[in-house]
Amino acid sequence: MNVESFSALVFATSILAGILGALTGLGGGVVIVPVLVLIFKVDIRYAIGASLVSVIATSSGAAAAYVREGLSNVRIGMFLEIATTLGALLGAYLTAKIPTHWIAIIFGFALLYSAYSSYRQKGDNPAIATPNPLATRLELHGTYPHEVDGRAVEEPYLAQNVPAGFGIMFGAGTLSGLLGIGSGAVKVLAMDQAMKLPFKVSTTTSNFMIGVTAAASAGIYLARGYIDPGLALPVMLGVLGGSMIGSQLLVKAKVITLKILFGVVILALGVEMIYSGITGRI
């Protein structure tokens, strides 16, 4: 395969990854890393480097639209970003210390848990929950546009279990730096299930956060030579275009549809990554 054909195929695949990333809050990296490794036979560390660049692009493309629509909660996102940035620096440091097949296996199990947790809760979290003193003090609350009986209303919400969410976010950041996935799957779960935020708020705030998390670890990958411009460019452009398409689709999508899509995609990728890591294909 020549360079032009390779770049065109990577670009087309990255568009699909960007759409899925924007719809589910995964950031595109969770799709593009396995695809580059398993289909295009790219070394996993270079795939992670390209993914981190694309994650930054995805966050820039989708987050602006979500903030404009009133879905992303910037205050909650920046508070939780403290934990994920610290975790991302740890994960990027560990990358050079852990063999690639173990990275693939860890990646796969993280995805399987995310798929399981997504299916365990089919509905959305209630818009109003029991007041949480810490969340109230930090003003971790907001409203989001919600359709009721064909009419748009602003639904209020308040974060719950703030320490648990903060701790999970540190783990999410570590996975981001280690695996180059933006750790959107874990971030969505932390906000959706631990902090009891509405699912659309969780996915859109995750998209807002992943760019900052990825930037924290991308510098380390760049310094180690794991970011190849010839690979990163078509991935970044494709994911950015796909994320803009996905951000338009998400506003009208149903929560149950998004959760099913989230679960199916990461279940399939998780199984494949574990199998490839165990059999030594990566």
**Phi then psi dihedrals of residue 147, to 5 deg:** -95, 125
Q: Which 8-state DSSP code applies to residue 41?
A: -
E-only strand ranges, the chain: 141-148, 151-158
Distances in whole angstroms, Cα of residue 144 to Cα of each of 63, 81, 187, 217, 258:
15, 21, 19, 31, 17
User: What is the residue extent of each domain of the chain?
Assistant: 3-278
77 and 190 Cβ atoms separated by less than 8 Å: no
**Phi then psi dihedrals of residue 123, to 5 deg:** -90, -175
> What pLDDT, on the 0 to 100 scale, is given for residue 79?
92
Strand partners, 144: 155
Distance CA 26, CA 23 (A): 8
Which tokens in the block code for residue 126? 């209630």
> What pLDDT, on the 0 to 100 scale, is given for residue 190?
82
Strand partners, 157: 142
> What pLDDT, on the 0 to 100 scale, is given for residue 8?
92
132 and 159 Cβ atoms separated by less than 8 Å: yes
Per-residue pLDDT tens digits of the chain, which is 282 residues long: 688 888 999 999 988 888 877 776 666 666 788 788 888 888 888 888 888 888 777 676 666 777 777 788 889 988 998 998 888 788 878 877 777 678 778 777 877 876 776 666 555 555 555 677 888 888 888 888 776 666 777 888 889 889 999 998 898 788 777 766 656 667 877 888 788 888 788 878 887 787 777 777 777 778 888 889 899 999 989 888 887 788 778 767 776 777 677 777 778 777 877 887 788 766
212 and 59 Cβ atoms separated by less than 8 Å: yes
Which tokens in the block code for residue 174? 């570590």
> What pLDDT, on the 0 to 100 scale, is given for residue 214?
74
244 and 65 Cβ atoms separated by less than 8 Å: yes
What confidence tens digit (pLDDT) does each residue in 45-75 have? 888 888 888 877 767 666 677 777 778 888 9
Distance CA 187, CA 204 (A): 11
Helix (H) or strand (E) holding 34: helix 29-38
pTM beyond 0.95: no
